[in-house]
Structures are given as structure tokens and as C-alpha cells.
């Protein structure tokens, strides 16, 4: 196997999303889709049927192949790629087993029950050793992308990962994870800090390997009250951006734009816009004009069509996407996306209509 190095990467041909993140004037809104490499693509299903989910994550050639699938299919209609991996690789690196169960999603056979279970967690995680496969996938993908679009690295935010580690999988109420906050506040903070330290290291490593943007997924932010968000989510989200930036600087690496997506946390938009992230990602329940006001125009906004609108037929998609683009306005600080990940049963042609509409309409309103 040829070994790929994080140097001499092909020259970037489309830097629209990087310029939008920095607030520069651009000719149209860049667009990409959360979970753009996924089950809605027949080519994903074809590769996935021969390999388990985490086997793909751990095999750089396979993770790279899946990352490239949407880029190959949609060509110039996509303005970014995101490395194929999962937020749950951090809990795995900390010593917890995670399985991906068909029809159910992620399952931890032995989740954390009480703080006594900390004894099952690895003391000093060697991030390079445990997650080096992600770095390799990133480096390989940067070469194979041939500069077509920038590549995102990502992590799950500490609160979301803590919640998975305690719930052991998806949950409607997060009753177990949240009861830790009331019963064991000190230990909850200790766990959040352990995750944060690994997250910082992991993101810096992803940039070293070739990631050109970073997104932090606080998928379960909206399960916290505004007060609890300020205590259990925001401080760690802020530590991550500040420390990653400091570390990149001290290692002589170029800064990369960072995006925070705290799903459901509309109440935190002002705080998030003052958290050292260049981009704040919005779910579909947030009105773009409201978000602009709350963020005082300090950041680029990402989003936010309702992912289920892709089931509405091509005409409805065009209409809803057009309204969305107009709602963000011709302010260049808009990165189009969905308000959450694309759903597994969407018709890939429907996504194409969305991408085309966003690109056309956002160029028109800037003329």
C-alpha cells in the first residue's frame, strides 16, 4: 500500500466555504450536507453490506471511499466534504465498547452507570494510538480529493458524548445521563473535562493530518435547559475552540475555521456566537433572521432546511429551499446545509434538486 503523507496536498480549487466562514464577500452560498455520505446513497449501501460500520471507520481506504462518494456523485454541487467517521470513536478510545446495530443505531453493551464505572475508563488515552486511523483516513482523503473541496474533521461535544456513554445509546428523555447532573455534579464535570481534553488533542491531530475545517456536534444540546447548557455544555465547547486555536498556533499550524452545531439550543445563540467559533449551525426550528439578531452578525450561519422537506417532491423542495436562501439574505455569511443530517430514505435526486436550487438562488440574490 502506498503511504500518504500530510504534505504536498493538491492545491484547493474551491475555497468558497472557507471564505464564507471568514466573512468575505463571495459569489454564492457554499453548500454541503450533514451525513452526506450515508445510507440514502445506493453506492454507500453497496460498500456497507460487506463491512461493519466501525470496520469502515477504522480502514482508511474504506472511510476515504465513502467520503468521496457524494463528492463524485454531485460534483460541483457540493462545496465541502466531511471525513467518514463517527462521534462515538472518542468513547471507544476511552475504553468503552460501542456497536452499531442495524435498525437501532449505536449501542454500548456496558454503559457508565455510576461514577464508580470510571475505573473502566482508560486513564491516559493515547489519542494518536487509539484514533490514528482517523488521521490516516483524513490524509489519504486530502490526496484523493485532489483539491476539489475542503475536508471537514469533526468531534461530538462533551455533553453529547457523556450522554451516550451513560445512556448506552439513543434515548427519548436522557433521564439517566441527566440524573448524573443532579446526583453527581462534580463527577459529571470530571467526565466532561476528560472528554474535552481528548477532543482538543483529537481535533488538533485532525488538522495536522489535513482537515481544513472542524465541526463540533452538540447533538443533544437542546435536551438541557438554558441554565444547564451554560454549566454543562458551553464551558466545554468554549474550551475546545480556544485550546484548539492555541495549540494550532503554538505548533505553527494554520488556523482553520470552526463550526458549532448545538441542536435545539436556540436560546444559546448569543453565547455560541461569542465562543471563538467562526460558524454557528442552525437546526430547522430557528428563523434565520432571529439567529442573525441573536448572533449580532458576529459569525457565519449554517443551515437550515428541515431534512424532511426532501420528501416533499421536487417542486416543494425548490420552493422551500428558495425561501430559506432568501431568509438568510444576500449577506455572504451563509453556508447552506440542512437543519440536521440527511435521512436514510431520501431520494438522492431530491438532494440534487436542493443543492441546485441553493446554488442558483443564492447566486441570483447576490447579483
Looking at the annotation, which residues are catalytic? 35, 39, 48, 86, 164
Query: Whole-number minimum distance, CB 133 to ligand CP3, in Å?
Result: 14
Output 39 or 230, the one with its CB closest to ligand CP3.
39
Output 26 or 149, the one with its CB closest to ligand CP3.
149
What would the grid cell of residue 236 be? Answer: 466545554
Among 4, 31, 38, 221, binds ligand CP3 (CB under 6 A): 38
Query: Whole-number minimum distance, CB 154 to ligand CP3, in Å?
Result: 5
Q: Which residue has the cell 453493551?
A: 109
Residue list 148-207, contact with ligand CP3 (CB under 6 A): 154, 170
336-355 footprint of ligand CP3 as x/- string (CB under 6 A): -----x--x-----------
Among 16, 71, 88, 191, binds ligand CP3 (CB under 6 A): 88
Residue nearest to ligand CP3 (CB): 219
108 makes contact with ligand CP3 (CB under 6 A): no
Output 164 or 361, the one with its CB closest to ligand CP3.
164
216 makes contact with ligand CP3 (CB under 6 A): no
Query: Whole-number minimum distance, CB 19 to ligand CP3, in Å?
Result: 22
Output 26 or 57, the one with its CB closest to ligand CP3.
57
Task: Note if the bond before 157 is cis, omega within 30 degrees.
Answer: no
Among 30, 40, 62, 86, binds ligand CP3 (CB under 6 A): 86
316 makes contact with ligand CP3 (CB under 6 A): no
Size of the site for ligand CP3 (CB under 6 A): 23
135 makes contact with ligand CP3 (CB under 6 A): no
51 makes contact with ligand CP3 (CB under 6 A): no
Output 59 or 322, the one with its CB closest to ligand CP3.
59
219 makes contact with ligand CP3 (CB under 6 A): yes
Contact yes or no for 217/164 (Cβ under 8 A): no
Output 78 or 361, the one with its CB closest to ligand CP3.
78
d(CA 367, CA 360): 11
Give the footprint of ligand CP3 on this chain (CB under 6 A): 34-39, 48, 53, 82, 84-88, 100, 105-106, 154, 170, 217, 219, 341, 344
Amino acid at each position: 500500500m502506498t503511504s500518504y503523507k500530510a504534505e504536498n496536498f493538491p492545491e484547493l480549487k474551491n475555497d468558497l466555504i472557507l471564505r464564507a466562514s471568514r466573512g468575505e464577500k463571495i459569489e454564492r452560498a457554499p453548500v454541503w450536507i450533514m451525513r452526506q455520505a450515508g445510507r440514502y446513497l445506493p453506492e454507500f449501501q453497496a460498500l456497507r453490506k460487506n463491512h461493519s460500520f466501525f470496520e469502515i471507520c477504522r480502514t482508511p481506504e474504506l472511510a476515504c471511499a465513502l467520503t468521496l462518494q457524494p463528492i463524485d456523485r454531485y460534483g460541483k454541487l457540493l462545496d465541502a466534504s466531511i471525513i467518514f467517521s463517527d462521534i462515538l470513536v472518542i468513547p471507544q478510545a476511552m475504553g468503552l465498547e460501542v456497536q452499531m446495530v442495524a435498525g437501532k443505531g449505536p449501542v454500548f453493551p456496558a454503559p457508565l452507570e455510576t461514577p464508580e464505572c470510571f475505573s473502566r475508563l482508560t486513564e491516559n488515552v493515547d489519542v494518536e494510538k487509539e484514533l490514528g486511523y482517523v488521521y490516516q483516513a483524513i490524509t489519504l482523503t486530502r490526496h484523493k480529493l485532489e483539491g476539489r473541496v475542503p475536508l471537514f474533521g469533526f468531534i461530538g461535544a462533551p455533553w453529547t458524548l457523556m450522554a451516550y456513554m451513560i445512556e448506552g445509546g439513543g434515548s427519548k428523555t436522557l433521564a439517566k445521563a441527566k440524573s448524573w447532573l443532579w446526583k453527581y455534579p462534580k463527577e459529571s464535570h470530571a467526565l466532561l473535562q476528560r472528554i474535552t481534553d481528548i477532543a482538543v488533542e483529537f481535533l488538533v491531530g485532525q488538522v495536522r493530518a489535513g482537515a481544513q475545517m472542524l465541526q463540533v456536534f452538540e447533538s443533544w444540546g437542546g435536551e438541557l435547559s438554558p441554565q444547564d447548557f451554560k454549566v454543562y455544555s458551553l464551558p466545554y465547547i468554549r474550551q475546545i475552540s480556544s485550546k484548539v486555536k492555541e495549540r494550532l498556533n503554538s505548533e505553527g499550524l494554520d488556523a482553520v475555521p470552526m463550526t458549532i452545531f448545538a441542536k435545539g439550543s436556540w436560546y444559546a445563540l448569543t453565547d455560541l456566537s461569542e465562543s471563538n467559533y467562526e460558524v454557528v449551525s442552525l437546526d430547522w426550528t430557528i428563523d434565520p433572521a432571529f439567529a442573525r439578531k441573536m448572533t449580532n452578525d458576529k459569525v457565519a450561519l449554517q443551515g437550515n432546511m428541515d431534512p424532511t422537506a426532501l420528501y416533499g417532491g421536487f417542486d416543494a423542495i425548490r420552493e422551500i429551499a428558495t425561501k430559506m436562501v432568501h431568509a438568510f439574505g444576500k449577506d455572504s455569511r451563509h453556508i447552506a446545509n440542512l437543519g440536521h443530517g440527511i435521512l436514510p430514505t431520501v431520494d438522492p435526486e431530491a438532494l440534487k434538486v436542493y443543492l441546485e436550487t441553493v446554488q442558483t438562488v443564492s447566486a441570483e440574490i447576490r447579483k
